[in-house]
Amino acid sequence: MGTVLLALGSAALFGISDFVGGVVSRRTSVWALAVVTQATALVIVGIAAVLLGGSPRGQDWWWGAAAGLGTGTGSAFLYRGLASGRMGVVAPISAVGAAVLPVVVGLVTGERPPLLAWIGIACAIPAIWLVSTDTDPNRVDGVVPGGRFDRGVVDGILAGLGFGVMFSALGQVPDAAGLGPLAATEASAILTIVALALVMRERWVPRDRAAIGGGAVAGGLAAGATVLFLFASQSGLLAVASVLSSLYPAVTVLLAATVLRERIGGIQALGLGLALAAVGLVAAG
């Protein structure tokens, strides 16, 4: 039960962070926003790591740095997709990718969830897709004339792979390591975002209040979410922790409905119901 609660807390904070980032990303450079987000998370996690202590091994630092490559890639392309108005494409693809990859890694490393947990995982993956699907009949996303995928699909795939790598790598860090490797994750994420921005010739230096203020709020929430996920993966199965943490789009959708008065469509409502069933099954397992 501890793993379930920690993972759900992680999903809640990730969902709020993405909501804040998604709103702010339409008013500033997504690369600058991502840099401030990770820099804020680095400060918070770094202070916590010093206060809590720990005994990380050499490989724990490398796992932390590898997770940062995923975090930086995932955050940058998720924000880029949200800023372009393609949330109905980016969110479900990224969240499903973030859930599936760690499940595969967990199986390869010997994890064997009980039957009820497997049924819950099987319910959670389509729930993630349904709950974050854009139901606006006037929006046409995902495919451009001629049948080619648009940038929203690419952003979603890259974001999903990035977050999947983050979850998978952090799942290899033992509890004795403390939060030091997670600080390495945030530092590596900043370098990754800057490198990607330079390659793509995008502006990444924060110069406006939207990037700095919004990034600080999103970063504080993301830091808490990542810490909770780390604790969840250390206290239970990586497959369970990653799938439940990947339910974050449900929180983002509920916030959009509450704060922005966006309508929850029938498909999204079905996804929310399926998500609740998935949580109950995983918890029972």
Asked if 264 and 257 count as a contact pair (C-beta separation under 8 A), the reply is yes
Counting the structural domains of the chain, the total is 1
Residue 275 CA to residue 244 CA, distance in Å, equals 9
What is the extent of the structural domain holding 17? 2-284
The continuous run of DSSP H or E covering 143 comes out as: strand 143-144
| CA quadruple 40, 95, 247, 64: dihedral sign | negative
Averaged in consecutive runs of 10 residues, what is the pLDDT profile of the chain (285 residues)? 88 91 86 94 96 92 96 90 68 79 87 83 81 55 43 81 93 93 96 94 89 94 95 90 85 80 76 78 70
Residue 21 CA to residue 13 CA, distance in Å, equals 12
The continuous run of DSSP H or E covering 163 comes out as: helix 151-170
Interior angle at CA 221, CA 128 and CA 161, nearest 5: 45
Q: CB neighbours of 50 closer than 8 A, spacing ≥ 6?
A: none
The pLDDT value recorded for residue 151 is 65
The pLDDT value recorded for residue 51 is 94
Burial 43-77 (b: 16+ CB within 10 A, else e): bbbbebbeeeebebeeebbbbbbbbbbbbbbbbbb
Residue 124 CA to residue 15 CA, distance in Å, equals 16
Burial 95-104 (b: 16+ CB within 10 A, else e): bbbbbbbbbe
DSSP 111-123: ----HHHHHHHHH
